[in-house]
């Protein structure tokens, strides 16, 4: 995708449904805001079969499923996709565990140990991103970097602090 399609096949807004996710502690709210900002700042996003973006995304959680409600920039509806979070359960749990290890290592470990943990953390993040990209296949086209940013957002939405 290049040229005019780059400006069309992208997200211009991401809204987290407050009824689904509620308010969180200030540090978690900050992380959510950063994840949304990073996603909007740089992404490649196109619902399958649609070339009339840019798009807005409203994310909500319904019965342990992530609901992607996609509209155009004028709020006219495009499509809604429901994504089970079950396939992400293990990788999110493992990702949080290794993140805790990483933050602990920063305080007490050698640079080599920190780097090894960070490589594991990035590997798990890549695994979750690839799973997300696979689960969206045929529904929403995203490049790997956008899948990474979306996976980060999914993780932050699960973070309890």
Per-residue pLDDT of 87-116, as tens digits, reads 999 999 998 888 888 888 989 999 999 999
pTM recorded for the entire structure: 0.85
124 confidence band (pLDDT: 50, 70, 90): very high
Contacts of residue 89, Cβ cutoff 8 Å, sequence gap at least 6: none
- Tell me the pLDDT band of 3, cut-offs 50, 70 and 90: very low
Least confident of 34-48, 78-92, 146-160: 146-160
Encoded tokens for 147: 């899948």
User: Residue 32: what pLDDT?
Assistant: 85
Contact predicate 132/154, CB 8 Å: yes
pLDDT of 73 above 90: yes
Report pLDDT for 1.
41
Residue 125 contacts by C-beta under 8 Å, 6 or more apart in sequence? 95, 148, 151, 152
| Averaged pLDDT score across all residues of the chain | 89
Task: Note the pLDDT of residue 96.
Answer: 86
- How much of the chain, in percent, has pLDDT values that exceed 90? 63
Res. 141: pLDDT tops 60: yes
pLDDT reading at 6 higher than 70:
no
**Taking Cα atoms as reference points, which of 42, 50, 51 lies closest to residue 11?**
42
pLDDT value at position 5? 56
Structure tokens at 45: 């996003």
Q: Would you state the pLDDT for residue 160?
A: 56
Q: Which domain holds residue 133?
A: 4-158
> What is the DSSP code string of 60-100?
EEETTEEEEEEEETT--EEEEEEEESGGGHHHHHHHHHHHH
* Number of domains comprising the chain: 1
3-state DSSP call for residue 154?
helix
Contact 45, 7 (CB under 8 A): no
């Amino acid at each position: 995708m290049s040229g005019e399609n780059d400006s069309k096949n992208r997200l211009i807004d991401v809204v987290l449904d407050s009824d689904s996710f509620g308010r969180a502690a200030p540090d978690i709210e900050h992380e959510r805001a950063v994840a949304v900002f990073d996603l909007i700042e740089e992404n490649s996003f196109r619902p399958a079969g649609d070339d009339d973006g840019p798009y807005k995304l409203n994310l909500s959680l319904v019965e342990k499923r992530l609901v992607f409600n996609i509209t155009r920039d004028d709020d006219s509806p495009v499509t809604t996709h429901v994504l089970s979070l079950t396939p992400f359960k293990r990788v999110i749990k493992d990702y949080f565990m290794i993140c805790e290890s990483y933050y602990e290592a920063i305080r007490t470990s050698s640079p080599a140990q920190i780097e090894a943990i960070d490589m594991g953390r990035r590997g798990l993040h890549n695994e979750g991103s690839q799973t997300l990209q696979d689960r969206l296949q045929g529904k929403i086209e995203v490049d790997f970097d956008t899948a990474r940013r979306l996976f980060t957002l999914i993780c932050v939405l699960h973070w309890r602090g």
